[in-house]
Amino acid sequence: MRHLLLVLLCCTSMLSMAEPLKQLASFAGVRNNQLVGYGLVVGLDGTGDQTTQTPFTVQSILNMLTNLGVQVPTGGNLQLKNVATVMVTATLPPFARPGQPLDVVVSSIGNAKSLRGGTLLMAPLKGADGQIYAMAQGNLIVAGAGAAAAGTSVQVNQLATGLVPAGATVERAVPTSLGNGEFVQLELLQTDFSTASRVVNAINGQIGAVATALDGRVIQVRAPQDPNQRVAFLARLETLDVTPAPSNPKVIINARTGSIVMNQAVTVDACAIAHGNLTVTILAENAVVQPNALAGGAAKRVENAEIQIETGKGPMVRVPKSTSLNQVVRALNAVGATPQDLLAILQAMKAAGALKATIEVI
């Protein structure tokens, strides 16, 4: 019997434990900003874009050389096997200032076979407003490895994506405001009215009557207006211990990998499940038919295929009521289903009212 592989992600127990407030909420306005840019990677060992299929690579090279004062004859056939066009992405953290380094990720957008050993040329990184916030350049680090010889190739991991550590320099700062006037706002990472109420009680109990819940996600807190005192006040807020409300039962299934994740709150009522297996086998036999000696024809290949379908009758399995995660896992393993079949079983159990959880497919 093949057992299911259930992955447990930091599941909180039914009796939630106290956590620092900074793990449950963030301050409004303190956020990351995504940056993106277009650039060229040079110095590849013949693994760059095939310019006959990626004309934008040639256009980018011509524009770059023109800006550098190099005139390329019109109609020239450029062979650019060592160049690849890429997209450059980075995350601008809050309170970043000009001169601060950023890590950048470089990803091929053409048909380059590998970016290993390449160098990213200076590429501007823009925000959602179209303004340039950083400049990126540097040598790529590619985690993958590959080798090819005599028509046979072996590849480990992805070769079309690389990282340039500290490869970008911030050129423009994003204004970040810690609240308006005498108030700052806390935003819970997950909307929950019970947790919002507990956060308000924890703040008012430790500091005083300064916090008010605006809804199930936003909490307004009165804070000092002096910048130095406000930073110290927010640092104190971050370290307050708050006991969050118990998490909602949820099952997450990755349809591509078959991974199944469920939290500690998932429970199962007593039910009965029957599960059968379907096996399809295709056998192909290739043969060569020779023509008659006097026919003057040519030999032809003939493909013969045989298809067999077998259905397995699954027994009726009684699943007892399970109130803990370990019991749920043992109950599902008793069915003998594969991870690919489990989605249908869980959906049927939920429809029958036996599964007390929300199913989410990613």
The pLDDT profile of the chain, 362 residues, written as one tens digit per residue, is 344 444 434 443 444 578 899 999 999 888 899 999 999 999 998 888 887 778 888 888 888 888 888 888 776 667 788 999 999 999 999 999 999 999 999 999 988 888 999 999 999 999 999 999 999 999 999 886 665 555 555 556 678 899 999 999 999 999 887 766 789 999 999 888 999 999 999 999 999 999 999 999 999 999 998 888 999 999 999 999 998 888 778 888 776 666 777 777 787 777 777 766 555 566 666 666 667 666 666 767 666 666 665 656 666 667 777 767 677 777 777 766 666 677 777 777 788 778 888 888 77
Backbone angles phi, psi at 114, to 5 degrees: -160, 145
Contact 198, 25 (CB under 8 A): no
Please name the helix (run of DSSP H) or strand (run of DSSP E) that holds residue 355, with its range, or none.
strand 355-356
pTM to 2 decimal places: 0.66
pLDDT of residue 104: 96
Instruction: Quote the pLDDT of residue 12.
Output: 39
Specify the residue for token string 């620092």.
20
Q: What are phi and psi of 262, to 5 degrees?
A: -140, 145
Which residue's entry shows tokens 């497919």?
A: 361
β-sheet bridge partners, residue 42 = 119
Pairing of strands 250-253, 358-361: parallel
Task: Give the residues across from 123 on adjacent strands.
Answer: 136
- For the residues of 265-297, what is the DSSP string, one character each? T-EE--EEEE---EEEEEEEEEEEEPPPTTT--
CB 134 within 8 A of CB 170: yes
Give the amino acid at 91.
T
119 in Cβ contact with 83 (< 8 Å): no
Which tokens hold the place of 154?
Answer: 């072996």
Note whether 348 and 292 are within 8 A (CB): no
Q: What is the CB-side half-sphere exposure of residue 82 using CA atoms within 13 A?
A: 7
